[in-house]
Homo-oligomer: A and B are copies of this chain.
Amino acid sequence: MIKESTIAQQLDHRTIRAFTKQPVAPEIIEQLVSVARHTATSNFQQAFSVISVTDQAKKQQIAAISKQPYVAANGHLFIFVADQHRNQQIGAEMGKTENQLGGADRFLQAWSDTTLAVQNTEVAAESLGLGTVILGSILNDAQKLIDLLQLPQLTFPVLGLAIGWPDQAPQLKPRLPEKFVHFENSYQLPTPVEPQLTDYDAVVHQYYDLRDANRRVDTFTNQVQQRLAMVPEKRGELLAVLRWQGFLLE
């Protein structure tokens, strides 16, 4: 039943934000990076890189950017970077100066390559019993992170991934039922959606209630509508920073 255990683990995925003091051994980090490197890649361009942030002062600064103190805590911190710089550099060394690496097509290819590698790494880590948290919050101040990690033109931070030995055992977070997510042959969202999500909202509400009785409990639909127009200040600058890095220029 080895074959089935991967899926069982994937269905049991939960985000772990608290890690024990036991460090993740260097051999494991190397193995995880190897998994990342072996992820599928668009047109064999391998357009991502990964930075291990081991410097505690830098971790603190990234935690401040993320506004998540646990980013600076015990876990091993990877920052995954969409990377067309390496290919630009290779081309330049071979005498090719013109490129389209900053256009939407190549930018999104790099973003996809990077994100695929993040998920592959996460699954690998969890298969070893490690806990993980994917950090979209690193983009709360993209420019600061770019400066901190000295990211050159044609690179961009995509997601962080903190990994460590779990020091918590959260509940499984309930996901949207299949009929709202999986369609056949064309996009067919059952509408009106919201009234059909009553049962799901109740399950999500109960999840939050069990997770922390002292905090506000919430439903899925309420979280969606509350976030609709929410763009924290610096995240509103993302397109400008992308262009500063050489991406999505007209």
Interface residues of A (CB under 8 A from B): 1-7, 9-11, 13, 15, 30-31, 33-40, 42-46, 48-55, 58, 81, 85-91, 93-94, 96, 98-101, 103-106, 108-109, 111-112, 115-120, 122-124, 127-129, 134, 136, 139, 148-152, 155, 158-159, 173, 175-176, 178, 180-189, 191-195, 197, 220-221, 223-225, 227-231, 235-236, 238-239, 242, 248, 250
Beyond known contacts A13-B38, A85-B187, A93-B194: 11 more, CB 8 A cutoff:
A6-B6, A51-B187, A90-B224, A91-B224, A94-B221, A103-B231, A104-B238, A108-B238, A116-B118, A119-B119, A148-B186
Counting from the closest, the 5 A-B pairs by CB-CB distance are: A6-B127, A119-B119, A115-B115, A104-B239, A99-B228
**Chain B residues closer than 8 Å to A197, beta-carbon distance:** 90
Contact A38 B11 (CB under 8 A): yes
Task: Give how many copies assemble into the complex.
Answer: 2
Q: Which residues of B contact A101 (CB under 8 A)?
A: 228
A79 to chain B minimum Cβ distance, whole angstroms, is 10
**Contact A158–B112 (Cβ < 8 Å):** yes
Whether A6 pairs with B5 at a CB distance below 8 angstroms is: yes
A116 to B134, CA, bound (A): 10
A185 vs B221: C-alpha distance when bound (angstroms): 39
Contact A231 B39 (CB under 8 A): no
List residues of chain B with CB within 8 A of the CB of A228: 87-88, 91, 96, 98-101
**Are B181 and A37 in contact, CB atoms less than 8 angstroms apart?**
yes
Contact assessment for A85 and B231 in the assembled complex, using a CB-CB cutoff below 8 Å: no
- Cα A6 to Cα B103 with chains together (Å): 35
Q: Which residues of B contact A235 (CB under 8 A)?
A: 105
Do the beta carbons of B127 and A4 come within 8 Å of each other? yes
